Structure 1
Amino acid sequence: MKFKVTVVGAGFVGATTAQRVFETGYADVVLVDIVEGKPQGIALDMLESGPVIGTDAQINGANTYEDTADSDVVVVTAGLPRKPGMSRDDLLLTNMKIVGSVTEEVAKYSPNAILIVVSNPLDAMVQHAYKVSGFPKERVIGMAGILDTARFRTFLSQELGASVTNVSAYVLGGHGDTMVPLIGSTTVGGVPVAKLIEANRLEEIVQRTRDGGAEIVALLKTGSAYYAPSAAVAQMVEAVLLDRKEILPCAAFLEGEYGINGLYAGVPVKLGAKGIEEIIEVELTDPEAAALQASADSVQELVDIMAKA
């Protein structure tokens, strides 16, 4: 029996995520969007690629949620994208309403699903989805840390002329200006990165990682990143559906871990069939711990604004 995955939002991130999952062949996909005809057209186009890529998976588009019933995983990408000059936080109240209404529908039709939230500002949106859904914390997860870590690993790989597969790193904290690349535990071929790159240059790479999304927004001018974000989501979906028990940095609801309580933040987790099956506490340096707390404080500010809305 194939798995069933729903992707809400047929923009670039959602459509590319749907394509990546469809092409694996292990899940049927439903692509949902409010624009009439858009998800249907995209889904039909992807379906017709099946004979070429060799998959018998099914994909269909919908404007309502009936077809999404009993999904194993639901990915929420719905919301307004960033435009040049906008921060992720500028989207807060608008996307809060969108994510809230989507989550209500998801919870209604797929009460046992694992919910992966991608909409920005990420940490606040996944916190809101958790509240609205009523799902247990293990089944509401935010995608950010995999993407931020992939950017960090990419830049380190380019700097050193080493394969990305030899770069081991984590980026924790909120998905934004306060994200925390863990320099102390980053290695390239097993060698601490601080021994390979001078401190000033390393800080420049860290800053580029924090600005990674904004750099792409500025270049595109009329859109935001979607190839790397969709790849990150697909990795999470696969870890859940295939019960990989994979250790990945994701936004998880913390209840005392890392000294953070009652808040979503990016940390390493074990991702499997039950969703977040364990929160992994890695050793932080004092500056890293302080930076993670500052990042959590920034997320808390957004959560407080939503609470008053």
Structure 2
Amino acid sequence: MMGRPKITVVGAGNVGGTAAQRLAERDQYDVVLVDIVEGVPQGKALDMAQAGPVCGYSTRVVGTNGYEETAGSSVAVITSGIARKPGMSRDELLATNAKIVQSVVKELIARSPEVILLLVTNPLDAMVHVALKVSKFPKSRVIGMAGVLDSARMRAFIAHELNVPGPDVEAMVLGGHGDTMVPLPRYTTVKGKPVSDLISKDRLDAIVKRTREGGAEIVGLLKTGSAFYAPSASAVDMVDAIMQDQKRVVPSAVLCEGEYGLKNVIIGVPVKLGRGGAEQVIEYELTAGERAALEASATAVRELCANVDRLMM
């Protein structure tokens, strides 16, 4: 039992709590769940521990309101922040969540100087920018979870459209997380076949649009919250890729310094994930249209990050 790597999840709300549960069920890590609300992380941790004998895992899950227990974490998944409410733009979340992420990152890196930071808090690309700035970590160790979720949504819609198993569909979504995301139907396949051979262009366009609005669709249905099953699954998928040194290429939000012609901007691109974190950005061939869409997405992210810098002066 000794010597399991430690994964910290900050924020014990729906995304964080479910991520901790999924990590516990892996039976490969020690899990620390941190939240400012007294009793909530402790209660959820106890509940997860008690599910262990039934589900067949013996993961140690610790719930805490402080950060002492996070010392020596390999990866920290940051989900803390206020959630988007119906009608609220991602930008309105900006000031509040930037301050929360700033303080969380300071607490984590003081105790785990080698940790890899995996950001889930929205607005995603801007929060990666904040974490990078505060931590002064190399860019390989500050990664945003967005593209895995966006492509999971696209894969689910395509699987439903074609009545095939979800895992048979591979999709790639680049760009910022939100209205400017850039789905790549050309790199989207079903059992290796290009999706454009299987679905008409107008149906595919509708799927791309629904993918882009995927988060808002769920917020609209739930009324009092946002998505958490797919986001937590996507974050844990990235934790596994890192901790198991899989070298798997998944879309992740990282700082680009020339890749895809993008300089000094955090944006979703295909990244090889392994024990070093975001080990390499993989450059796909893009059409002029896809490149222009990625540029537009980068411009939107730059504006968001400039706003963050202004708010955090």
TM-score by length of 1: 0.98
Counterpart selection for 2:77 from 57, 75, 78: 75
CA RMSD of aligned residues (A): 0.9
Q: Write the deviation string for residues 29-81 of structure 1: whole angstroms up to 9, x where unpaired.
A: 11000001110011011111111112221001111111101101101000000
Task: Provide the residue aligned with 2:282 in structure 1.
Answer: 280
- Matches of residues 228-307 of structure 1 in structure 2 within 5 Å? 228-307=230-309
Counterpart selection for 2:39 from 28, 37, 40: 37
- Matches of residues 106-145 of structure 1 in structure 2 within 5 Å? 106-145=108-147
**Aligned amino acid, residue 78 of structure 2:** V
Following superposition, the deviation at residue 134 of structure 1 comes to 1.2
**Aligned amino acid, residue 63 of structure 1:** N
Following superposition, the deviation at residue 187 of structure 1 comes to 1.9
Moved more, 83-92 or 244-253: 83-92
The 3-state SS of whatever aligns with 1:10 is coil
The 3-state SS of whatever aligns with 2:73 is coil
**Aligned amino acid, residue 238 of structure 2:** M
- Matches of residues 1-309 of structure 1 in structure 2 within 5 Å? 1-309=3-311
Following superposition, the deviation at residue 165 of structure 1 comes to 2.2
The 3-state SS of whatever aligns with 1:44 is helix
Following superposition, the deviation at residue 190 of structure 1 comes to 2.4
Judge conservation of contact 1:145–1:175 (CA < 8 Å) in 2: yes
Q: How far apart, in 2, do the equivalents of 1:255 and 1:46 lie?
A: 41
Q: Write the deviation string for residues 128-185 of structure 1: whole angstroms up to 9, x where unpaired.
A: 1011011111000000000000000111111111222221210000000000000222
Q: How far apart, in 1, do the equivalents of 2:61 and 2:165 lie?
A: 35
Judge conservation of contact 1:184–1:285 (CA < 8 Å) in 2: no
Following superposition, the deviation at residue 195 of structure 1 comes to 2.3
The 3-state SS of whatever aligns with 1:129 is helix
Query: 4+ runs of 1 displaced by more than 6 Å?
Result: none
Judge conservation of contact 1:82–1:223 (CA < 8 Å) in 2: yes
**Aligned amino acid, residue 97 of structure 1:** K
Percent identity (aligned): 59
